[in-house]
Structures are given as structure tokens and as C-alpha cells.
Amino acid sequence: MAGRGDPPEGNPEGLPGGEDEYRSVVFDESFVRAARLQEFSAEERMGEHAQAVRSRPGREGRSGSRQALMLVLLILLAFGTAVYLGVRNPYQPPLDQRAEPLSTTMVPLAPQDAVPGGTPASLFAHSPAAEYRTGAAGINLPLAARTTDFSESQVVTALGIAKEYLVASSLDPEVLSGQTVRPPRLLLDPDQLEQFDRSVESPQDDGRHAVSGWLVRFDPRTVVLADPNIRVQGTLRFAEVNTDLLDVTADHTFTYAVRPATSGPGPAPRASLFTVHRELHFRFDREDLRMHRAELLTSTVQAGPQSCDADPAGALRPLLAGQRAADPSRQAVTDPYATGRPTTSALCGTLAPGAQPSL
């Protein structure tokens, strides 16, 4: 028998109201939590202008706040790590170091007899420079190798700069004749330029401001080259000073054929040989290598034949063919062709007879 509220025949098939219609809808706990709308209670709906439902805060808002917080934490962690690594970084750039001033030693070598004269070819052939190479070919680079803190390429760069300086300061015809000082000046550390310029403008034999400590120069009013083919022989050595400094030592002998500076008709005067032994001590920091320049720390020069009373600060003053020293030196005999560190204890030395051509 049908209930009071039911049709006599029950619910018609296909019409709403049966239990089977909602059997597939399950209002579990997760469904309820995910609902975005919530019905107000009966008491809440009795208020004026009260709404039937209210919005619930979604999970997306809480999730977005959590992601933003995590992003901030990650940024702070990355910043702290960068600061820590910056403090602990063992490859910090070296502190800026000013170049030391150049220290120079000039030793004229006085001959015991008259200076031999002749043609340049004959003089070279009968001198210790007979087997020397000509010009820059006589400045050979040693086999380069890496040091503890400098790569092989950095060592090669230092040796190359030292050779360039030797060529510019000892072989350039315009430098030798006093027409310019620009080629060697361009290769110097800027910290040394003031000292270099003062040496050129006001040379003094004070151990600091002799232009002959920086370069080889003759007085063109009295001496000129008789042969442009200058004979050269020597060595270059390198050594690491510390993690930021590399040293190069150049020890070379340069032999020049010179003659008096004369003008007008007539036969050319006889030539003579003039020998200069230069030991230069270069220093390179990493900035010098990058900028292709050098610091010149010490320069020791022995040169002859010269008189002991000659002032070589501004220019070298060779005794020419047939001339003698006004006051021969009584100091130890010195051979500018000898290898090894030059003797620097005397203000003037005696030029070894074997250093002169044997005509």
C-alpha cells in the first residue's frame, strides 16, 4: 500500500525523486572541505540584508602564500652563500703595488793604450764579437716553462716584453742618436715615467737619474754609428718572486762600430769599437703582463773605451780610433765580454786588453 505522500502507483519511472538519482553523489569530507560556498546558519540568515551563503577561503590562497615565503627564503639563502664565497674566495685580485724606482750603476772602462781603428768589418772580425749575432737576432729567449703561480704563456709574455725593451733601448738607431726616447718609454710601468722623464731632461750620475741607465745613447755631435749592424750576445733568465710577481734578468753585451761625427768632403774617418755590457733586472706583476709593460728595478752598465773623467749620465762618450784615456784607470781589469754579474765596486774600471780588436 502506498504511503500518504506517494502517488498510488509510486514514483513514475524516469521522474526525479527516487533514491537511485542521488546514489552516485557522495558528499565525503574532502568534498565538503573543497567547497567554495558555505550556507549561513538560520540565525545568521535572520539579519538584515543577510546573504544565504558566504565564500570560504580557498586552498590556492594558502598555497600561494607558502610558495612566496619559500621563494623569499631561497633568495636569502642564495645571497648569504654568495657573500660567504666572496669572503672565502682564495683568488682575490692582488693589492695594487707601486713600482719601485730604478737604481742605476755606471762604470766607464778606460783603455790602457790607444784605441784601435779600421773598417767596421775588420774590427768585428778581430774582436770577441766576431761570432756574435746581429741586432735582435742576438737576443734569444730561453725555453719558457710555467712556474708555481704563473702559466707558461705568462712567462713567455714577460720574456717577450724584456726583449722588446732591450731592442728599443739598445738597438733602435733613433734612440742611439738621441732623436727619441719614445720606444723604451712606452714599455715602462706608469709609476716609473716621472723618474724616466727627469733622467732624460736633467740627467745626473746619482744612481737614480742617469739616462744611460735606461737606454744606450751617444752624443750625435761627436759620435755616430759607422755600421748599423750591432753585434749582440747574452742571456735572459726568469724566476717567480711570489704569487703575484715574476722577475726577468737580462745580461747582454752590445758591440757598436762608431766613428767621429764629421761633415764635408774627404775620406770617412776610421771606425772603432765600443762595447756596452748591460745587466737589467725587470719585474712584472699581473697588471704589467696584461698591459704589456715592465718595471725596471736595477740597471748595471759597463762601457768602454771611455775616460774615467767622462760623465756618462746624459750620454755614453766613447774614445775613438787613435785616442787615449787622459787618466788611465788603476782599478781592476774588467772584461765587458765576460759572462756573469758585472763588477760594480769601482767608479771606473780598466778595459781588458783582450776586449779590444787585435789588428
More confident residue, 88 or 130: 130
pLDDT-derived band at 93, boundaries 50, 70, 90: very low
- pLDDT for 104 beyond 50: yes
Say which range, 8-12, 116-120, 212-216, 247-251, has the weakest mean pLDDT: 8-12
- What average pLDDT does this structure show over 270-278? 97
pLDDT, the chain, mean = 84
Report the distance separating Cα 80 and Cα 76, nearest Å. Answer: 6
Is 29 within the bounds of a domain? no
The predicted pLDDT at position 90 comes to 45
User: Among 231, 236, 199, which Cα is nearest to 214's?
Assistant: 199
In DSSP terms, 53 is beta-bridged to 39
Report the distance separating Cα 256 and Cα 231, nearest Å. Answer: 7
The predicted pLDDT at position 351 comes to 93
- DSSP output for 6-71: S-TT-SPTTSTTSGGGGTT----HHHHHH-SEEEPPHHHHTSTT--SEEEPPPHHHHHHHHHHHHH
- What average pLDDT does this structure show over 248-253? 97
Phi, psi dihedrals of residue 53, rounded to the nearest 5°: -135, 165
The predicted pLDDT at position 339 comes to 77
- pLDDT for 68 beyond 80: no
- What average pLDDT does this structure show over 76-93? 58
What would the pLDDT profile of 285-321 be if each residue is shown by its tens digit?
A: 999 999 999 999 999 999 999 998 888 899 999 999 9
- pLDDT for 122 beyond 60: yes
> With contact defined as beta carbons under 8 Å apart, do 236 and 248 qualify?
yes
The predicted pLDDT at position 6 comes to 52
DSSP state of 130: G
More confident residue, 233 or 71: 233
Q: Is the pTM of this model over 0.75?
A: no
Q: In one letter, which amino acid is 347?
A: L
The predicted pLDDT at position 115 comes to 97
CB-side exposure of 300: number of CA atoms within 13 Å?
A: 16
- What average pLDDT does this structure show over 319-331? 84
The predicted pLDDT at position 196 comes to 98
Most confident of 77-86, 188-197, 265-274, 309-318: 188-197
Q: Which domain holds residue 194?
A: 103-355
- Based on the structure, what is the number of domains in the chain? 1
> With contact defined as beta carbons under 8 Å apart, do 107 and 346 qualify?
yes
Is 188 within the bounds of a domain? yes
What would the pLDDT profile of 132-189 be if each residue is shown by its tens digit?
A: 999 999 999 999 999 999 999 999 999 999 999 999 999 999 999 999 999 999 999 9
Report the distance separating Cα 318 and Cα 315, nearest Å. Answer: 10
- pLDDT for 58 beyond 80: no
Instruction: Write down the number of H helices and E strands in the chain.
Output: 10, 11
- pLDDT for 352 beyond 50: yes
- pLDDT for 10 beyond 60: no
Is 11 within the bounds of a domain? no
Residue whose grid cell is 598555497? 63
Is 83 within the bounds of a domain? no
More confident residue, 13 or 184: 184
> With contact defined as beta carbons under 8 Å apart, do 166 and 254 qualify?
no
